[in-house]
Amino acid sequence: MVQAYCVKCKKKGQEMKDPKIVKTAKGGYMAKGSCPDCGTTMCAMMSKDNAEKAIKDGEAKKDF
């Protein structure tokens, strides 16, 4: 699963709920989802390889 840091819960390595891979304005990749505990929006910057792997494995949806 795609993991990120939740700013509200202060928990490192939280697994995102319903992650979507989006492309940034500069061409990078970012996973956006919500925290399973508090529901806050979470974001994690990803490399192209990791983003494509997450989409291929079915861990995240493509949103670009």
Tens digit of each residue's pLDDT (9 = 90 or more) over 6-61: 999 999 999 999 999 999 999 999 999 999 999 999 999 999 999 999 999 999 99
Give me the amino acid identity at 36: P
Going through 1-64 in order, the beta strands assigned E by DSSP cover 3-6, 11-15, 17-23, 29-34, 41-46, 61-62
Q: Taking a C-beta distance cutoff of 8 angstroms, is the pair 19, 27 a contact?
A: no
Q: What pLDDT is attached to residue 64?
A: 86
pTM: 0.83
* pLDDT confidence bin for 1, thresholds 50/70/90: confident
| Total domains present in the chain | 1
Task: Name the residue range of residue 28's domain.
Answer: 3-62
